[in-house]
Amino acid sequence: MLNPIFEKSKLDELFQVLSESKTILIFGHKNPDGDSIGSTLALYHYLGSKGINSQVIQPDGFPNFLKWMEGTDSILLFEKQPEEVTELIKKADVIFNLDYNEQSRVGKELGELLQQSDAVKVMIDHHQQPDDFAQFTFSDTTSCSTAQLVYEFIESNGDLPLINETIGNCIYTGILTDTGSFRFPSVTPKTHLIAADLISRGVVHSRIHEEIYDINTPERLKLLGYTLNNKLEVLPEINTAIISLTMKEMQDHKTQKGYTEGFVNTALSILGVTTAVFVKEDKHIVKISFRSKGDIPVNEFSKLHFGGGGHINAAGGASKLSVQETVDKIKKELPSFLAQLTK
């Protein structure tokens, strides 16, 4: 079933514009994740297979576990090559905006450059409340990932036969990482049909899972072990688990960037736990990650007490208190917040 957001007449119009364009840029969002890198590269390879040259630009660097994807070498980073990127934006004919729906999501400075550009803008995205800045807006807020939308873009254009292992790897990676390995409610039968089709076109899913997830170092696992052994508090009366780490504890464990990524999900995986919190000391501030299941709006709790926000089941916040004081504040405020939800 074709996704109705990709109307054939719109696609024909867009490809007419592309055929008359010299400089075509494809942007992803700040702090690029698997969907940002996967969807932009998939589109880049697809356009390339149709004889259309383009350039992928990301605001800043992306995690090492995404570097195996074909085409990552050719990505320009605004933080590393600001002049080159600025020049390209000035002469751009078409700018694709993938996996974000307001231009500020690429960062302040780069966002202003995009705003000033009179290139034809195209948005392909799945986030809520899209801004109205693009001549071509392809937004589906029910979709699990932008990578799935890129597949459907190709499908609607009648080009599925052009999907090879290279394009398939990028799409599969975007879907995999944005769905927590096909587990979030946003996954539909269509998502699995797409995964099946990608595998039939050469994607080796087991290798991608290894590349993305089997990236632990002994040091990271030891830090996780320490955290769970010494810093995990389970509050069964409110189905909540809290973990925390101070700067000193992280230094003692030779913690590197990204080591604590996913720790909060481990806390959420405890049987019976529906809210998980990770409190972590950063340079001048204490950062808090919230995760929840079902309709517990952790973004609202974070907004109320920690000036944060995010999604209903995944939110962030910050605190000027110490780590212990922050944990105490959460333990004090969370019970009444959760209690009023059921009323």
- Return the SS3 of 290: strand
For residues 142-161, which are near Mn ion according to CB under 5 A? 145-146
Minimal distance in Å, beta carbon 250 to Mn ion?
A: 28
Minimal distance in Å, beta carbon 125 to Mn ion?
A: 8
* Sign of the dihedral through C-alpha 230, 324, 273, 299: negative
Minimal distance in Å, beta carbon 100 to Mn ion?
A: 8
Does position 249 bind Mn ion by CB under 5 A? no
Question: Which helix H or strand E contains 298, and what residues bound it?
Answer: helix 298-306
Edge-to-edge, what's the strand order for the sheet holding 314-319? 232-235, 240-245, 275-281, 286-292, 314-319, 309-310
- Interface residue with Mn ion, options 140, 178, 249, 281 (CB under 5 A): 178
Minimal distance in Å, beta carbon 143 to Mn ion?
A: 9
Does position 99 bind Mn ion by CB under 5 A? yes
- Rank residues 28 and 308 by Cβ distance to Mn ion and give the closer one: 28
* End-to-end CA separation in angstroms for the chain: 41
Q: Dihedral through CA 6, CA 101, CA 87, CA 91, nearest 10?
A: 40
Q: How many residues bind Mn ion (CB under 5 A)?
A: 5
Reported in sequence order, the residue ranges of 165-263 that DSSP labels E, i.e. its strands, are 232-235, 240-245
- Rank residues 145 and 227 by Cβ distance to Mn ion and give the closer one: 145
Does position 125 bind Mn ion by CB under 5 A? no
Beta bridge partners of 98: 124
CB atoms < 10 A from the CB of 6, how many? 19
- Rank residues 33 and 155 by Cβ distance to Mn ion and give the closer one: 33
Q: Which residue has the tokens 């990709």?
A: 6
Q: Give the strand pairing for 232-235 and 240-245.
A: antiparallel
Q: Which stretch binds Mn ion (CB under 5 A): 52-60, 176-184, 211-219, 283-291?
A: 176-184
- Rank residues 130 and 223 by Cβ distance to Mn ion and give the closer one: 130
Does position 35 bind Mn ion by CB under 5 A? yes
Does position 140 bind Mn ion by CB under 5 A? no
Site of interaction with Mn ion (CB under 5 A): 35, 99, 145-146, 178
